């Protein structure tokens, strides 16, 4: 079949790839793409993962074991022992492209690690080194006239893969730092070494067809005046004329906004005439476009993430359409300066200060199996935790446009670092080379190319030279110059006050490399940590929860890294480790009364961090009693996870603006099956710490200061909070309410934390040694609850061992559920009601139903793709009651029980309907989005829970409920 003439635009080459080890291929690249192409996945060729790495291809084909399972990574030969040739691989594919007259074709690699030889139809091209650079090859003259083309790529590993010292360490022997590549691949204290050092075609491959003139890297910038009422869009584009004549062009820019489903409003349409000389490039800046009061882009928790679509296309006289480009764009202004009151770096978005609560990020997968679908889950999880910033750590990736797209969509600000770390670039054991990579020009080329790739994303908040280190002097000087601010974006002084500058009409800001975001030389400089480069982030281990609230816990205004525990649920341990890895730690009591945890070797390999800190923090799991087995250990770990991370964020928020401007937790997730510093595991199941963070980081929040026992109200919004009260109720283990009080509150100003009253119960007569505290911040006008916070507490010097017999209490529940099925997506609305009775008539909680005004906020909304691409009627909506139908199509499930009291630490999970399964077999359906989980209900309370997930083909889901005293109740099962 003769292929049709190629259309203008991009085609992604993401399927049909084969791979083979170079030493096992007998033919040259010329032969592979002419006379001897591989015919299929027959030895030595195998199906390849592209985008991906050599190791991800080997794992897919079961040539090597899964390096993330148990100790299997030790069975895979390391590049230091095998040599670079062992991981030098051929990648091969075919593609169709038939050009017409005056059409041109580029072959694009968005990321190769580390260098490559490219062969197309027998022609060779050598790609230069560098992991973080795009390669664009004009292949117009070497495509076959019939449109059938053969492509082979020989990929070489990094030049300096390094060795792994027996004791491990941060970045191995640091040799990888000589290359411009990911540094985590030699291992860190949170990940084992990646054996191929991420060798491969790790990012998108595509061909792009244009006419005579090509559009290159447009730059979009918005400038604001008159208190954000008068807004201008600036756009500069580079045009390349590939033809042998002067190209007379009509250059068009269009800005559209989504006003409702499937309807767009054209805000601006402008056409300019441009002449581009033959065989040359020309930079063109459009006349600025004026907008009056456009919808602004706001970070998560501050407002909507309004996005416009900016389209640029070029028509060439005598030819017609030549090229087009489009990108979503958010009107917003980010300012950043060192706050005089705290010494911390303060961020403003659209003139409003934003208190940063977020996390550190390495990358989504250590084998670079990156996907748009996983990025969507990752970023939505961060938004669900009410976070507003992600820091992309310098030893990982310059993150991909797909990552940034979802950060734009969900309102997550991004701190993007370049590829420098203190451990690999200046300190460590052995002491590493402080002069950074061998090739400084290569580093700067990759940095500038990364800026061009990412600069149009509204979520991108700042550039940072490196982690706990600054780049070498010449690189740092060049980055400062390249990323200097345009005067319009540098018009805030150190006190946050505008600086009058008559020179704002200088060069158009879109003509800068960036010009809109601050550049900071390193993560410990200029308002972060101590601010002058000293090692003053952390700590990174378990803490006493009350310590986070103390004035002396952390001495600086913005902590870029503070970390702690991260044990996943038991099902994840069984799914990622053989039975010998299911053994829980040995608790070894020390002479001073503290306990040291001794984990099994597999946990040790997976970087387990203990729940005790001898001489400082008593074991927080043992507070609940000695765990009996893996399940008992993991559920007690979830209790600790929830308390630990809620206290961390509440402690920082308690000092908002008076002491702190922000905090970033080390870290939100692991790019492998690690056992520390995470809110969801590598299989995408959330730990209870996820929901502790979600609670603590609410924009409007009621909390208990665990140091002073003062109830506080946090208002991070821009509006005053008035006509509100706080209900505080204490519940004991017998199901009675020994303490109840409603606190009247004065209006809470915007961006403030206000202490309300001391919680008197612990000082009352005969307080219970273990008790529950429920705080509710509600509107007095309609009892609508703005924030709900549930604590389990013990008296000073005590523990939670009395909760162990509480497992036997049977608290009755009534659960109403309704299911909406769209294709493979299930959306379930749950309503969970604690039906046990109390005789206390004081309880306001009995007079208002739902415990949350938010309900299913955001959790049943469509994904960005569905919102923007789904046609009306594309998905047939089916309501299905899975069992126990009622008149409205819902199902009612009752969990019987005769005790009164708190239904404690309830959590849903979703499984494939499979009654019998083998030991360690994982039946979970993941990921699942919950509006809340790991929640508790006092007598008479109810809570709406929204659950959303996709099911694999041929699988029927089963929703189960577990809890401290609930075990595996099936709530929903497909029929």
Residues assigned a catalytic role = 468, 561
Q: Are 437 and 180 in contact (CB under 8 A)?
A: yes
What is the C-alpha separation between 267 and 569, in angstroms, rounded? 50
Largest CA distance in the chain: 93
DSSP 619: -
What is the C-alpha separation between 847 and 845, in angstroms, rounded? 5
Alpha helix stretches (DSSP H) within 577-682: 601-605, 630-654
Residue of 400, 268, 405 lying closest to 327 (CA atoms): 405
What is the C-alpha separation between 175 and 342, in angstroms, rounded? 39
Say which residues have a Cβ less than 8 Å from residue 679's Cβ, sequence separation at least 6.
359, 381, 385, 566, 645, 668, 669, 686, 687, 689, 690, 693
710 to 30, 165, 647, 706, 754: CA distances (angstroms) = 75, 50, 14, 8, 10
Q: Are 404 and 450 in contact (CB under 8 A)?
A: no
Classify 942 as helix, strand or coil.
strand
Q: Which residue has the tokens 């989005």?
A: 929
The radius of gyration of the chain's CA atoms, rounded to the nearest angstrom, is 29
Task: Pull the structure tokens for residue 212.
Answer: 């005579």
Given phi > 0 = left and psi -120 to 50 = alpha, else beta, which region is 920?
left
Q: Return the number of other C-beta atoms located less than 10 Å from residue 876's C-beta.
A: 8
307 to 95, 331, 734, 787: CA distances (angstroms) = 34, 8, 53, 29
What is the C-alpha separation between 699 and 716, in angstroms, rounded? 5
Q: Which residue has the tokens 């924009």?
A: 699
Beta-bridge partners for 227: none
Q: Are 392 and 399 in contact (CB under 8 A)?
A: yes
846 to 561, 849, 856: CA distances (angstroms) = 42, 7, 21
Classify 703 as helix, strand or coil.
strand
Kindly report the CA angle at 633 between 631 and 637, in degrees rounded to 5? 115
Task: Pull the structure tokens for residue 54.
Answer: 């050599």
Residue of 82, 62, 109, 49 lying closest to 197 (CA atoms): 82
Residue of 441, 372, 430 lying closest to 406 (CA atoms): 372
What is the C-alpha separation between 685 and 568, in angstroms, rounded? 8
**Summary count for the chain: helices (H), strands (E):** 13, 47
**Where is 969: in which H helix or E strand?**
strand 966-973
């Amino acid at each position: 079949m003769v292929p049709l003439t190629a259309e203008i635009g991009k085609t992604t080459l993401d399927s049909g790839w084969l791979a083979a080890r170079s030493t096992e291929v007998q033919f040259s690249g010329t032969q592979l793409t002419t006379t001897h192409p591989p015919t299929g996945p027959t030895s030595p060729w195998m199906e390849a993962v592209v985008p991906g790495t050599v190791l991800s291809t080997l794992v897919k084909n079961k040539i090597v074991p899964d390096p993330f399972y148990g100790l299997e990574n030790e069975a895979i030969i390391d590049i230091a022992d095998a040599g670079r040739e062992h991981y030098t691989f051929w990648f091969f594919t075919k593609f169709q492209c038939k050009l017409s007259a005056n059409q041109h074709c580029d072959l694009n690699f968005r990321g190769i690690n580390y260098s490559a030889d490219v062969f197309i139809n027998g022609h060779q091209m050598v790609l230069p080194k560098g992991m973080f650079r795009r390669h664009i090859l004009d292949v117009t003259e070497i495509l076959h006239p019939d449109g059938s083309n053969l492509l082979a790529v020989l990929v070489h590993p990094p030049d300096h893969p390094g060795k792994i010292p027996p004791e491990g360490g941060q970045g191995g022997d640091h040799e990888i730092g000589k290359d411009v590549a990911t540094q985590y691949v030699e291992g860190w204290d949170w990940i084992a070494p990646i054996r191929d050092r991420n060798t491969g075609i790790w990012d998108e491959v595509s061909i792009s067809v244009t006419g005579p003139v090509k559009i290159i890297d447009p730059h979009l910038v918005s400038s604001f005046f008159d208190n954000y009422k008068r807004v201008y869009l600036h756009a500069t584009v580079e045009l390349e004329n590939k033809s042998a004549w002067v190209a007379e062009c009509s250059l068009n820019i269009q800005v559209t906004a989504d006003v409702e489903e499937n309807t767009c409003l054209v805000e601006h349409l402008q056409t300019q005439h441009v002449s581009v000389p033959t065989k040359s490039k020309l930079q063109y800046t459009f006349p600025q476009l004026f907008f009056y009061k456009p919808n602004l882009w706001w970070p998560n928790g501050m407002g909507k993430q309004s996005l416009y679509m900016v389209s640029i296309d070029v028509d060439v006289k005598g030819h017609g359409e030549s090229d087009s480009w489009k990108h979503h764009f958010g009107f917003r202004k980010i300012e950043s300066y060192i706050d005089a009151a705290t010494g911390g770096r303060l961020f403003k978005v659209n003139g409003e200060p934003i208190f940063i609560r977020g996390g550190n990020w390495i990358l989504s997968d250590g084998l670079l199996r990156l996907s748009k679908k996983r990025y969507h889950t990752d970023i939505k999880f961060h938004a669900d935790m009410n976070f507003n910033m992600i820091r992309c750590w310098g030893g990982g990736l310059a993150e991909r446009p797909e990552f940034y797209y979802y950060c734009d969509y969900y309102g997550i600000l991004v701190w993007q670092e370049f590829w420098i770390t203190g451990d690999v670039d200046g300190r460590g054991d052995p002491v590493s080379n402080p002069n950074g990579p061998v090739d400084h020009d290569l580093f700067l080329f990759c940095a500038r190319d990364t800026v061009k790739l990412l600069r149009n994303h509204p979520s991108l908040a700042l550039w940072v030279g490196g982690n706990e280190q600054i780049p070498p002097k010449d690189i740092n000087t060049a980055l400062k110059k390249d990323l200097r601010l345009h005067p319009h974006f540098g018009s805030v002084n150190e006190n946050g006050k505008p600086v009058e500058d008559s020179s704002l009409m200088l060069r158009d800001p879109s003509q800068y490399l960036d010009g809109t975001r601050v550049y900071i030389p390193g993560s410990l400089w200029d308002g972060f940590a101590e601010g002058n480069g000293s090692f003053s982030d952390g700590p990174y281990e378990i803490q006493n929860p009350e310590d986070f609230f103390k004035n002396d816990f952390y001495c600086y205004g913005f902590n870029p890294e503070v970390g702690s525990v991260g044990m996943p649920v038991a099902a994840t341990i069984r799914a990622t480790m053989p039975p010998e890895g299911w053994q829980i730690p040995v608790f070894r009591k020390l002479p001073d009364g503290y306990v040291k945890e001794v984990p099994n070797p597999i946990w040790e390999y997976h970087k387990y961090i203990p729940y005790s800190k001898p001489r400082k923090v008593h074991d927080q799991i043992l507070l609940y009693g000695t765990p009996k087995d893996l399940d008992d250990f993991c559920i007690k770990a979830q209790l600790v996870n929830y308390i630990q991370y809620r206290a961390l964020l509440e402690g920082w928020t308690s000092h908002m603006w008076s002491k702190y401007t922000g905090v970033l937790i080390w870290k939100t997730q692991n790019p492998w099956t690690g056992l520390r510093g995470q809110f969801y595991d590598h299989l995408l199941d959330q730990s209870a710490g996820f929901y502790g963070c979600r609670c603590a980081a609410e924009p409007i929040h009621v909390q208990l200061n665990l140091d002073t026992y003062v109830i506080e109200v946090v208002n991070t919004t821009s509006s005053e909070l008035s006509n509100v009260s706080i209900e505080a109720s204490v519940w004991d283990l017998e199901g009675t309410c020994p303490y109840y009080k409603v606190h009247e509150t004065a209006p809470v100003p915007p961006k403030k934390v206000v202490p309300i009253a001391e919680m008197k119960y612990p000082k009352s007569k005969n307080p219970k040694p273990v008790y529950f505290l429920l705080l509710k911040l509600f509107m007095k006008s309609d009892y609508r609850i703005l924030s709900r916070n549930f604590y389990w507490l013990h008296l000073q010097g005590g523990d939670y061992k009395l909760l162990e017999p509480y497992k036997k209490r049977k608290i009755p529940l009534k659960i109403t559920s309704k299911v909406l099925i769209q294709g493979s997506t299930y959306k379930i609305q749950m309503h969970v009601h604690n039906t046990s009775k109390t005789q206390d008539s004081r309880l306001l909680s009995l007079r208002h139903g739902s415990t949350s005004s938010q309900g299913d906020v955001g959790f049943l909304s469509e994904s960005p793709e569905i919102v923007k691409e789904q046609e009306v009627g594309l998905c047939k909506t089916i309501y299905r009651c899975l069992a126990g139908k009622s008149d409205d199509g819902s199902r009612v499930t009752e969990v019987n029980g005769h005790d009164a009291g708190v239904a404690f630490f309830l959590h849903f999970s979703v499984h494939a309907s499979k009654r019998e399964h083998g030991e360690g077999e994982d039946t979970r359906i993941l990921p699942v989005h919950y509006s809340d989980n790991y929640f508790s209900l006092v007598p008479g309370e109810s809570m709406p829970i929204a659950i959303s997930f996709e099911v694999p083909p041929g699988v029927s889901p089963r929703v189960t409920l577990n809890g401290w005293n609930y075990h595996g109740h099936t709530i929903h099962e497909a029929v």
